Structures are given as structure tokens and as C-alpha cells.
Amino acid sequence: MLLFVMALFLILASVTAANVYVVAIGGIHLRSQTDIIDYSENVHIKKEVLLANRGKILDRSGVIIAEDIDAFDVYAVLDDRFDESYVSDIEATATKLAVFFDASVDYFRQRLSIDAYQSYFGIYGRGLTKERRDALAALGLDGIKFKKTIRRNYPFGVFASHLIGFSQSNDPDNDGNVYNIGKMGIELAYNDALMGTNGLKESTVDRYDYVLPGSKVIETPAVDGYDVTLTLDKGIQEALEAAMVSTSETFVTGKIWGAVMEVDTGKVLAWGQNPGFDPNLLNIEDYMNIGSQYAFEPGSTMKTFVYAAAIDTGVYNGNALFDSAPFRMGIVNGQPVRVAKNKAASAVINNANHKNWGIIPYDYGYIFSSNVAIAELLTKVTTTQTYRDYLDRFGFFQEVDTDKISEVTGSINYKWPVEKLTAGYGQGVTVTMLQMMQAYSAVLTDGTMVKPYFVESIKNPYDGSIIYQGQRTVVGKPIKEETAKALQDLMYRVVYDEKGTGRFYQIPEVNSIAKTGTAQYAVNGVYTPDGNLFSVALGLPAEDPKIFVYYAFETKYTRSVHVTTEPIQQLMRKITLAYGFSKPDGNGGTPQLPDVFTTNVPALINHSLSYAAAKCETAGLEALVIGNGNSVIDQYPVSESAVLSNQRVFVLTSQSDLTIPDMTGWSRKDVLAFFALTHTPVTIQGEGNVASQSIAPNSPIDASVMVEIVLK
């Protein structure tokens, strides 16, 4: 019996070993005759990445500025290992893909020729919209597949773009992981908070991607990134962007930049530059964030800090007189002094446009923006060293160090006597807009200086818990409260004195205060002969400033810059509306203000007048009809132009029997548009708005007669 059992055991062991051998080596299951090799080669572990959503970026009211949306990545299956549909004709497929993506055939030929099961197409095949995916799918290319993913979307396009920045997804790694990574601005600075963590799902599937019955599925869920809420206000930001577009259309501009800030808290409500870029398109001309990374010579807006030093140290008398004639500078003991006309001068300081108001009070030196007043103050009232000390107290030439924003510090040339005077009116000294915002926060309040900041909070999207909370940060008190109030009074007179340099910044809805600036700028270390930086520092309302506006741009010199102020006035109106500001009227009433927004001019040519009127009304635009025709033959601005609401749209209906309207109050831009459409010669004299016209309103226009327009 024992021998029998042993023999039986030996037989069973031999059969089992033979079966294992046949299965392992031959790949055939003996009893079922199943081809194990064919079965096993078509079963594999599938790793599916569960994509995390990158956190949203929102404005202060919760309006989404940046978010992830569904998208599709394109890839090619290169053999039939797991899919019967694969790229069998590399040349034909590469040619069609090159045409679709407007790229090189060689690029796609190379991607389709690699020794791998599948291949992705880099930037060309990444993040396609559903419409784009459907268009490619319609080509019916074998082996071209789509993988659902996510892409970053910026719904407002050009919108504080150099501050917000952008993120991009990387090429998938061997495990199929895709990460949306910040490359610039807030997206880069707060990438760790925004990015989140991808999850993973592992399952056993057959060649047709079906999960094998009874197999185990292991899943690690994705964790979305944190949401970042900014201090930006969508409406005010759009008004700033619109103002810069309007400025670029009015003047031949280089850089334009500006910002809006709450002076009590330091919250930045708007921040922009022109040209900007659309982060959806990445049409970037310049990666520099001008507001913090561009050190520029600010010009006369620096005069505020000379006056601050003199007032704060108790040596200033605004009624004291000085001679506004050219300041002839001599040197005594290494310090600048004023010398008489009959003595040699090492330098001569002139007022802008060589103006001379004679003997005037120091207060008017600020109101008229006199360079000579600054030279007199620094040599006779205060000292150049005192001014230099106050520049440090106001935080110039130091990093503001806010919200991980990359910045430069600027510099000052303060070695030679003449440099100690020119620095007083903003030449030979470079600062950033971020520094100007911080410094003016002290001027517009009680002397308390706060740090500008952009990030309101960072929150967990799952439970709303606050990861980070932005807050007011006091960085010093460079001047006393009475000094700040005295400076505000001077800035008020800049706007409301009949000869103040800021008088054209007035708007009827609210009182404001301001300091204007004009400075030459240097290119490769040499001042341009006709290039100037024009800027304005504004506070509103004047009675108790809450908002600071800084606005600057580079253009060829023209006296009309601080006269043609409509773009900035529209921005001021938007701020006034958002905060409910009004002029004190004794009744506590608030004027009803039209909302100011950006809109696109509709296409009106070849349409009826009723159609044109309706379309303009819908867009919030004023249509002015030229001619007595029944349909539109030309228009200005052209269709799809971005303009501010309430702008005139000129609608031409005929070229005969034309009459001239009453142009009183029109801007130069509107005058030029009218005469360009009517092909009538015109001469324009002066600056500002139309005060008179040589042809009476409603008179016939004769194209052979020159029309004369006077602006004031």
C-alpha cells in the first residue's frame, strides 16, 4: 500500500510538473488547450492618472481670473499591441497633422517614428478644446487618440497679465502624469499652493481595456490645489486696461503702466501695463512686470518728497517767495548754491519749457511744478542730506518685498552737487511704481506708510479653511500727520488752481488731489531728445483720500498729455462708482453715475440706420449720424475696436449734402474722426476740447474750404 501511494504520488507530481513545464515553456494549458501566451500578452496593469485641478485665482469678489477646464491631449498609437487602430502610414499621417497644426512635417514624422507603443506631440497636441478635438477627429486618422485632461483658462484674456502670469502643462511622463506648472507671476510665485497632487488608479485590464473580473482596483484620489483670492477688483482692473488702450490710441506710446490701491490698507485693486498679453495665447512681447521690475526716472512726482522733507522738519513757509528764473548753480564747500548772473555757473536748472513766473511763493512752486523751486528749497530752506534721509524713510531704493513679487530696487546718483538737485525733481534717480505706491500711502493718509499687497487669501477648496490671510502691514511713519495734510492741500491746489498742472484731471463726480510728472527717459544711458515719461499720482476723494492712482506712459513730448486726460478720467469715474464717492453737497446725496466699461464697436457698414442705432444702444455707445442716406457706408471707430462705453461712434450715410455739427466740447480725436470720414480739410489749434469752429453748426460742408477748429 505504501509503495502504491508513493507511486501514485509520483505519477501526480510528474503530471503536474509536465503541465507546469508545458504551460511555462510551451504556453499551452493542457486540459483546456488554451494558448496562455496569447492570453497573458493581452493582459496588463493599467495605471490611470487622476488629474488634480489647479487651484483657482479669483478677484476680491470671487470672480474667476484663472481656472482649469476640460481639455484633450492628442497622442498616436504606433503598433497594434493593445489596439487594432494604429498609425500604419506614417508619411500620410504626419502630413495631415502638420497641416492641421500648422507645423513642420518633419516634427510629426519624427514623433511617429519612435520605438514606442505610443507618442505624444508636445505643445501642438496639448490642451485642445472640445471643438478643436472634434475637428481633428473628423480627419479620420488611424491611431490618433485623445486623452481627456485639463488646461488653464483665463476668461478675461488681457487682465493684469504680467501680475497673474500663466501656467503650462508638461509633457506626460512615462506614467502619464501631467502637471500644470506656473511659469510666471502669481501662477509661478504660488505654484506650490495652486498645483495640487494627482491621484492614481491601478487595475488589471485586457487588450480591450476591460477590467478583468475579480481583479483588484487600487485608487488614490487626486487632491486639488488651493484657491488664491487676490485684492484685485474686476471692474476697476478692466477700467485701467481700457484706459491704457485708449492712451495707446491717442498717443504714440512706448510702455504704459499703472495701478490703483487702497491707501489705508495697501490692497492693490488694479495693476497693469500695455502692451499686455493674453495668457490663453501667450502672445508675450515683454516678460517684465513693469510695476515692480522697471526702475524709471519718475520726474516731478518726486517733488512731493522734497516738500515733505521741508514741511516735516518745520522749516517750510509756503508764502515765502523765490525767484523762478533759471537757477544758476555754483559750488561752495562741495555743496550746490545759487549764484548771480554775473558769476560763472557749473550748471543751469530751468523749469519745464523754460517757463519763468517771476517772484512767486513756494506753494506755487509745487502747484506749477517748478524745478527751480526744488533747487531753491534744497539750497536755502532744507538740505540735500535731509532730502536724502527722507528718501530712505519713504522706502525708496529698497525692496518692498510683497507677496513674492519679483522686483528691482532702483538707484540714485547723489555724488555730484548738480545730482543732489536734479534728484529732487526726479532725474538721476530711479524708482519703481511699487515704491511710489508705498511712499504715497503715507502722503495720502496720516503719514502712516503701508505695504501694497495683492494676495487676499489662500483657501482650501474642500472645506473653505484659510491657509493664508493677507493683511495690512505698516512699514513706517515717515512724516507727521500735519505734514501729510499740508501735502494733500498742495495736491488739491494742483488740481483746482486755475493754473495748476493737474487741472485737467478734474471730474464733476468727485474732488481729487494730484501731482503730475514729466521726465526725459534714457535709452542705453543717453536721454532721448524728444522722448518723455508722463505720469500722474492721484488721490480721491480729496476730502479724505481712500484711493491712490498711479499712471505713467512713455511718448514723444507734447504739451497735450496732461490736457488730454479722458482715459484717466474714465478710470476715476469707475473707482468713484465702485466706492460710492461723491462731492460734498450738503445734502448727503450721491450723483447717479454711468457705469464705465469696455465694449467692442459693432459692425455697422451696409446696415440700416435703425439697425446701427439699436446696435450702438445695446453696446452703450452714442451713434452720431453724418449725411442724409438710409444706410451706413462707413464708420469710426472700425468694427471690433475696443472702446469705453458712451464713446461716440460716427456713422457715415452719404458723402453729399453734408453739414457740420456743433463740435463744442469735442475732443481732438473726435474732430479728426469726423473730418477723416467726410474727407474735409481741417486745421486744429490749441489743446483740450473744442472751443470754437470757423463754420457755424448745421452749415453745409465744402470739401474745398479749410475748416478751422480751436481747442482750449
* Residue 595: pLDDT over 60: no
Do the domain assignments include residue 677? Answer: yes
Binned at pLDDT 50, 70 and 90, residue 129 comes out as confident
Percentage helix, strand, coil for the chain under 3-state DSSP, each rounded to 5: 30, 30, 40
Do the domain assignments include residue 590? Answer: no
Last residue of a domain, one of 579, 613, 646: 579
Q: Would you give the DSSP letter of residue 542?
A: T
Do the domain assignments include residue 584? Answer: no
Distances (CA, A) of 335 to 308, 379, 382, 426: 21, 8, 13, 19
Domain match, 557 and 603 both: no
Task: Tell me the pLDDT tens digit for each residue of 606-629.
Answer: 888 888 888 887 777 888 899 888
Domain match, 206 and 178 both: yes
Per DSSP (E only), the strands in 177-280 are 180-184, 199-206, 218-220, 227-230, 253-262, 268-274
Q: Regarding beta strands 327-332 and 411-412, do their DSSP bridges make them parallel or antiparallel, or are they unpaired? A: unpaired
pLDDT, the chain, mean = 89
Task: Tell me the pLDDT tens digit for each residue of 367-385.
Answer: 999 999 999 999 999 999 9
Please choose, from the candidates 368, 421, 710, 693, the residue with its C-alpha nearest in 3D space to the C-alpha of residue 562. 368
Of 140-154, 192-206, 452-466, 627-641, which one has max mean pLDDT?
452-466
Do the domain assignments include residue 124? Answer: yes
Please choose, from the candidates 240, 270, 269, 268, the residue with its C-alpha nearest in 3D space to the C-alpha of residue 256. 240
Give SS3 for 163. helix
Domain match, 401 and 295 both: yes
Last residue of a domain, one of 197, 229, 261: 229
Give the number of residues written for the chain.
712
Residue 507 domain boundaries: 238-579
Distance CA 447, CA 434 (A): 18
Which has more confidence, 84 or 256?
256
Please choose, from the candidates 448, 431, 407, the residue with its C-alpha nearest in 3D space to the C-alpha of residue 266. 448
Enumerate the H helices of 232-327 as residue ranges. 234-250, 290-293, 303-312
Do the domain assignments include residue 589? Answer: no
CA dihedral 662, 667, 668, 670 (to 10 degrees): -70
Cβ neighbourhood burial of 261 (10 Å; 0-12, 13-18, 19+): buried
Provide the pLDDT for residue 93: 95
Q: For residue 436, what is the enclosing H or E element?
A: helix 433-443
Q: For residue 511, what is the enclosing H or E element?
A: none
Domain match, 101 and 200 both: yes
Return the bridge partners of 363, or none: none
Do the domain assignments include residue 178? Answer: yes
Domain match, 215 and 242 both: no
**Span 565-574, mean pLDDT?**
96
Binned at pLDDT 50, 70 and 90, residue 646 comes out as low
Binned at pLDDT 50, 70 and 90, residue 681 comes out as confident
Task: Tell me the pLDDT tens digit for each residue of 385-440.
Answer: 999 999 999 999 999 999 999 999 999 999 999 999 999 999 999 999 999 999 99
Handedness of CA 275, 278, 283, 284 (dihedral sign): positive
Query: How many structural domains does the chain have?
Result: 4
**CA geometry: angle at 293 spanning 643 and 535, to 5°?**
50
Domain match, 163 and 55 both: yes
Provide the pLDDT for residue 30: 55
Which has more confidence, 239 or 50?
239
* Residue 521: pLDDT over 90: no
Domain match, 447 and 310 both: yes
Provide the pLDDT for residue 19: 66
Distances (CA, A) of 673 to 104, 428, 623, 626, 694: 45, 40, 13, 11, 18
Q: Which three cell numbers stand for residue 430?
A: 530711479
Domain match, 274 and 252 both: yes
Domain match, 407 and 503 both: yes
Handedness of CA 553, 554, 556, 558 (dihedral sign): positive
- Using the structure block, give the residue that is written with the C-alpha cell 505698516: 474
Which of 59-73, 162-176, 212-226 is least confident? Answer: 162-176
* Residue 464: pLDDT over 50: yes
CATH code of the domain covering residue 201: 3.90.1310.10
Binned at pLDDT 50, 70 and 90, residue 525 comes out as confident
Task: Tell me the pLDDT tens digit for each residue of 34-74.
Answer: 555 555 566 777 777 888 999 999 999 999 999 998 889 89
Handedness of CA 450, 452, 457, 458 (dihedral sign): negative
Provide the pLDDT for residue 15: 66
* Residue 571: pLDDT over 50: yes
CATH code of the domain covering residue 623: 3.30.10.20
State the amino acid at position 582 in one-letter form. Answer: S
**Span 488-497, mean pLDDT?**
97
Distance CA 426, CA 420 (A): 10
* Residue 213: pLDDT over 90: no
Return the bridge partners of 538, or none: 514, 549
In the chain, how long is the greatest CA-to-CA distance?
Answer: 141
Q: Would you give the DSSP letter of residue 312?
A: H
Return the bridge partners of 75, or none: 120, 145
Domain match, 201 and 243 both: no
Per DSSP (E only), the strands in 541-681 are 547-556, 598-600, 622-626, 634-636, 642-644, 648-652
Binned at pLDDT 50, 70 and 90, residue 506 comes out as very high
Domain match, 415 and 523 both: yes
Measured from the Cβ of residue 326, the count of other Cβ atoms closer than 10 Å reads 17
Do the domain assignments include residue 260? Answer: yes
Return the bridge partners of 501, or none: none
User: Are the C-beta atoms of residues 495 and 505 closer than 8 Å to each other?
Assistant: yes
**CA geometry: angle at 678 spanning 673 and 683, to 5°?**
65
Distance CA 485, CA 448 (A): 12
Q: What percent of the chain has pLDDT over 70?
A: 91
Do the domain assignments include residue 585? Answer: no
Domain match, 319 and 461 both: yes
Handedness of CA 676, 677, 679, 681 (dihedral sign): negative
CATH code of the domain covering residue 290: 3.40.710.10
Last residue of a domain, one of 178, 194, 229: 229
